[in-house]
Amino acid sequence: MSSEVYDCIVIGAGIQGSCTAYHLAKNQKKTLLLEQFVLPHSRGSSHGQTRIIRKSYPEDFYIHMMTETYQLWAQMEKEAGVQLFRRTGLLVLGPENGDYKKIKANLQQHKVPIVLLEKEEFNKHIPNMNLTPGDGALVDTTAGLLYADRALRSAQRLFQSYGGVIKDGQKVTDINPGSVVTVATASGTYRGRSVVITAGPWANTLLANVGLELPLQVVKINVCYWGEKVPGSYHISRRFPCFVQVESKESKHHIYGFPSNEYPGLMKVCYHAGSETNPDFRDKQTDKTDIDIISRYIARCFPALEPIPAVVETCLYTNTPDTHFVLDRHPTHSNIIIGAGFSGHGFKFGPLIGKILYELSMGQAPSYDLSPFRIARFQHRQKSAL
CB of 298 to ligand LYRWXNCF, least distance (A): 16
Handedness of CA 366, 368, 369, 374 (dihedral sign): negative
Pick one of ligand FAD, ligand LYRWXNCF, none as the site partner of residue 254 (Cβ within 5 to 8 A by kind). ligand LYRWXNCF
| Strands 242-245 vs 217-228: parallel, antiparallel or unpaired | unpaired
Alpha-carbon span 354 to 264, nearest angstrom: 33
Please give the residues from 62 up to 101 whose contact with ligand FAD meets the rule CB under 6 A: none
Q: Determine, following the binding rule CB under 6 A, whether residue 346 of this chain makes contact with ligand FAD.
A: yes
Q: Determine, following the binding rule CB under 6 A, whether residue 241 of this chain makes contact with ligand LYRWXNCF.
A: no
Please name the residues in contact with 149: beta carbons below 8 A apart, sequence gap of 6 or more: 40, 47, 48, 49
Q: Determine, following the binding rule CB under 6 A, whether residue 8 of this chain makes contact with ligand FAD.
A: no
Q: Determine, following the binding rule CB under 6 A, whether residue 274 of this chain makes contact with ligand FAD.
A: no
Alpha-carbon span 144 to 149, nearest angstrom: 16
Handedness of CA 176, 195, 173, 275 (dihedral sign): positive
Pick one of ligand FAD, ligand LYRWXNCF, none as the site partner of residue 316 (Cβ within 5 to 8 A by kind). ligand FAD
Binding string, residues 265-304; x marks residues near ligand LYRWXNCF by CB under 6 A: -------x--------------------------------
Alpha-carbon span 83 to 154, nearest angstrom: 10
Q: Which of 100, 225, 256, 302 binds ligand LYRWXNCF (CB under 6 A)?
A: 256
* CB closer to ligand FAD, 53 vs 114: 53
- Looking at residue 76, the DSSP 8-state letter turns out to be H
> Counting beta carbons within 10 angstroms of the beta carbon of residue 284, is it exposed (0 to 12), middle (13 to 18) or buried (19 or more)?
exposed
**Candidate ranges 32-40, 75-83, 87-95, 210-218; the one touching ligand FAD (CB under 6 A):** 32-40
DSSP notation for 233-297? TTBGGGTPPEEEE-S-SS-SS-EEE--B-SSTTEEEEEES--EE--TTSGGG----HHHHHHHHH
Closest CA to 73 of 357, 346, 351: 351
- Looking at residue 46, the DSSP 8-state letter turns out to be S
Please give the residues from 210 up to 229 whose contact with ligand FAD meets the rule CB under 6 A: 221, 223
Q: Which of 12, 279, 344, 354 binds ligand LYRWXNCF (CB under 6 A)?
A: 344
3-state helix, strand, coil in the chain (%, to 5): 30, 30, 40
Q: Determine, following the binding rule CB under 6 A, whether residue 317 of this chain makes contact with ligand FAD.
A: yes
The three-state (H, E, C) secondary structure of 111-150, written as one string: CCCEEECCHHHHHHHCCCCCCCCCEEEEEECCCEEEEHHH
SS3 call for 152: helix
Alpha-carbon span 312 to 270, nearest angstrom: 10
Q: Determine, following the binding rule CB under 6 A, whether residue 345 of this chain makes contact with ligand LYRWXNCF.
A: yes
In DSSP terms, 27 is beta-bridged to none
- Cβ-based neighbour number of residue 378 at 10 Å: 19
Q: Determine, following the binding rule CB under 6 A, whether residue 144 of this chain makes contact with ligand LYRWXNCF.
A: no
Binding string, residues 42-61; x marks residues near ligand FAD by CB under 6 A: --xxx----xx---------
Q: Determine, following the binding rule CB under 6 A, whether residue 32 of this chain makes contact with ligand FAD.
A: no
Q: Determine, following the binding rule CB under 6 A, whether residue 350 of this chain makes contact with ligand LYRWXNCF.
A: no
Q: Which amino acid is at 375?
A: I
Pick one of ligand LYRWXNCF, ligand FAD, none as the site partner of residue 315 (Cβ within 5 to 8 A by kind). ligand FAD
Q: What is the size of the binding site for ligand LYRWXNCF (CB under 6 A)? A: 8
* CB closer to ligand LYRWXNCF, 23 vs 345: 345
* CB closer to ligand FAD, 223 vs 304: 223
| Strands 165-167 vs 172-176: parallel, antiparallel or unpaired | unpaired
Pick one of ligand FAD, ligand LYRWXNCF, none as the site partner of residue 353 (Cβ within 5 to 8 A by kind). none
Q: Which of 125, 157, 171, 253 binds ligand FAD (CB under 6 A)?
A: 171
Pick one of ligand LYRWXNCF, ligand FAD, none as the site partner of residue 106 (Cβ within 5 to 8 A by kind). none
By the criterion CB under 6 A, which residues form the site for ligand LYRWXNCF? Answer: 52, 54, 244, 254, 256, 272, 344-345
By the criterion CB under 6 A, which residues form the site for ligand FAD? Answer: 11-17, 34-37, 44-46, 51-52, 171-172, 198-202, 206, 221, 223, 270, 315-317, 342, 344-348
